[in-house]
Chains A and B, each alone.
Chain A
Amino acid sequence: MSVVSVEVASAAGVSETREDFRDACTAKRPGRPGSSMTSDSLFKTVLYASAVFMLLLLGGIFVTLAIDSVPAFKEIGFSFFTDTAWDPVFKKYGALVFLVGTLLTSFVALAVSVPFSLAIALFLGEYFKEGAFSVFLKSAVELLAGIPSVIYGFWALFVLVPLMQNIEMKLGVVPYGVGILTASLILAVMIIPYSASISSDVISLVPSDLKEAALSLGSTRFEMIKKVVFPYARSGIAAGTLLALGRAIGETMAVTMVIGNANRLPTSIFSPSNTMASIIANEFAEATETEYIACLIQVGLLLMVVTLIINVIGRCIINRMGVEH
């Protein structure tokens, strides 16, 4: 606190001259041009404008995506969402494959990640709230969250893909190596830190009198977690999982590198496919025709709407629970 009080002294008392002080005292009176009132209102305008800028930015992003995808919608209409053929050479643009690919990779990744993120959440939020183990695991989670997505993709391409090829060979399926499952596995690793940290925050918020009541009635810690912690933290954990899902859906680079880039509906969990994000990453820079670009932008719009819905639901639950994150 001592540092802070020095700040106050230097800002308000010591450095101000008598004139400044008088100015400040009379600042609220109208009709004094050049007084600090004008600088105050200017400052408030700047703050207000910056806040409104956020609204305009988001609005601008939506409007841009919508306007730029109009040519695609005019040309193709609703079959864009139901057609499985994507072949720009023959002007066939159906995005269903990418929608399916995105949802499939994300949900498989989520299913893989849930046991791990729940375990970490319980570890950090319930069993070992402090101590060396907790600090260690927390740092590991933060490290994982900090690694750039392109490096996950690179690593997966050179380590995970050969491994998957071996497994696929043993299982007797076509050993592509790349494909939905490979993408899902790397995605799972990428989203675990995210859902784990939200869930552990929620779990550590469970009131200890509730937990102690359960323990005092003779329940074991496992029973207490099952009957008190989980029901109490249920919606928060669900929200953390939803936000992780939103992240998985929008994740681009790692998926692009290991999904296999095949524009057809996946026949099994091992088959190569494409997601909404990966098709944009792969084809946007080489698209030249207006219609082609417009179709890719429409895929982007679709991707944004899907993540938006998931994120808004997740955020609303979290905000209602009062978790600061």
Chain B
Amino acid sequence: MDAGIRFRIIKDRIFLGAVILFSFMLLLPLLLILYYIVVNGIGVINWEFLTSLPRPMGEMGGGIINSMVGTLMLVIVASLFAIPPGVFAGIYLAENKTGKLVNTVRMCVEILQGIPSIVIGIIAYAWIVVTMGTFSALSGGVALAIMMLPVIVRSTEETMKLIPDTLREASLALGVPYSRTVLKVIVPAGVTGILTGVLLGIARIAGETAPLLFTAFGSPFMNTNIFKPVDSLPLLIFNYATSPYPHWHNLAWGASFVLVVFVLGINFFAKMVARRWKVQF
């Protein structure tokens, strides 16, 4: 074989090797992160950790029940605010494929998705915290709702677009009014897709910290009143991790483990839902 060709083939092999090497080097940080969370986190987790309130600094023991409840509250409040307008806006975008308003709204949703989370925190602070005069779960929920909204709009729109036009036409041809066609034919056919979007939205906001720093604010007490400050898992991890106490660092590892399991679990669940739904079409 001519040397030039051999050289070219060697270059090709080296390139392939580099691609594989660089690709799998990404596994290194992933495995290290998961390793540290599992190794440091799993030892902390016991019944007391999951069911009791945090202790004052200096005391050993203590748990994270208040921040788990807080995270749940924030997610529920955010979902209540984000799902209805998100789904309707998604339907609107899918039903009116072109037009000046539609394109503008679509652009807006993309821009909303790109807004840094800390800026959304400022907005919720200005809109809710300043108006009500206090940090609250409500303001945190609103901040998270703004983060969740674009995810829901886009996934709803993409799902609606996948539903065959023949379905809509069949329904309309039978004389079914437009609103019923959408609500009873098109939405049920795509409901799993919308659900996937909602789940991905929840997974996105459940681990968010930045917008909560000056809205939900954090609190060491159990609180179920949405007009009062609440703690959340990511906030607790941030506060404990940046504190100087080794015992709090340990608790933060435990909380990280819980949070990662929760977020990745939702992501996984969303993928399962999406996979089942794809089979149908």
A324 within 8 A of B: yes
A-B contact count (CB 8 A): 291
Do residues B112 and A4 form an inter-chain contact, with CB atoms below 8 A?
A: no
B72 CB to nearest A CB, Å: 16
B35 CB to nearest A CB, Å: 10
- Do A144 and B95 contact each other (CB < 8 Å), given the known contacts A51-B105, A54-B153, A150-B207? no
B2 CB to nearest A CB, Å: 12
Do residues B213 and A284 form an inter-chain contact, with CB atoms below 8 A?
A: yes
B281 CB to nearest A CB, Å: 8
A interface size (C-beta, 8 A): 97
Do residues B111 and A140 form an inter-chain contact, with CB atoms below 8 A?
A: no
- Do A53 and B85 contact each other (CB < 8 Å), given the known contacts A16-B176, A150-B238? yes
Interface code A9-32, partner B: CB below 8 Å = 1, 0 otherwise? 001110010000101110100000
- Do A43 and B237 contact each other (CB < 8 Å), given the known contacts A12-B171, A55-B104? no
- Do A7 and B185 contact each other (CB < 8 Å), given the known contacts A144-B26, A149-B207, A252-B118? yes
Do residues A222 and B33 form an inter-chain contact, with CB atoms below 8 A?
A: no
Do residues B30 and A143 form an inter-chain contact, with CB atoms below 8 A?
A: yes
> How distant is the Cα of A53 from the Cα of B84 in the complex, in angstroms?
12
Selected interface stretch from B43-51, B53-61, B119-127, B219-227: B119-127
The contact of A189 among B23, B29, B84, B234, by CB within 8 Å, is B29
- Which residues of A come within 8 Å of B, CB atoms? 1, 3-4, 7-8, 11-13, 16, 21, 23-25, 27, 36-37, 39-40, 42-44, 46-55, 57-58, 60-61, 64-65, 68, 115-116, 118-120, 122-123, 127, 137, 140-144, 146-155, 157-159, 189, 192, 220-223, 225, 243, 246-247, 249-253, 257, 277, 280-281, 284-285, 296-297, 300, 303-304, 307-308, 311-312, 315, 324
Do residues B185 and A39 form an inter-chain contact, with CB atoms below 8 A?
A: no
Q: Label chain A's interface by main secondary structure.
A: helix
Do residues B189 and A7 form an inter-chain contact, with CB atoms below 8 A?
A: yes
Do residues A277 and B116 form an inter-chain contact, with CB atoms below 8 A?
A: yes
- Which residues of B come within 8 Å of A, CB atoms? 8-9, 11-12, 15-16, 18-27, 29-30, 32-34, 36-37, 84-86, 88-89, 91-93, 95, 101-102, 104-105, 107-112, 114-123, 125-127, 146, 149, 153, 158, 164, 167, 170-171, 174-185, 188-189, 203, 206-210, 213-214, 217, 234, 237-238, 241-242, 249, 252, 256, 259-260, 263-264, 267, 271, 280-281
List the B side residues contacting A68 at CB < 8 Å: 126
> How distant is the Cα of A253 from the Cα of B156 in the complex, in angstroms?
29
B18 CB to nearest A CB, Å: 7
List the B side residues contacting A115 at CB < 8 Å: 22
Do residues A221 and B16 form an inter-chain contact, with CB atoms below 8 A?
A: yes
Do residues B118 and A65 form an inter-chain contact, with CB atoms below 8 A?
A: no
List the B side residues contacting A250 at CB < 8 Å: 114-119
List the A side residues contacting B207 at CB < 8 Å: 147-151
The contact of B122 among A24, A42, A152, A284, by CB within 8 Å, is A284
Do residues B25 and A116 form an inter-chain contact, with CB atoms below 8 A?
A: yes
Residue in A55, A146, A243, A304 whose Cβ sees the most chain B Cβ within 10 Å: A146
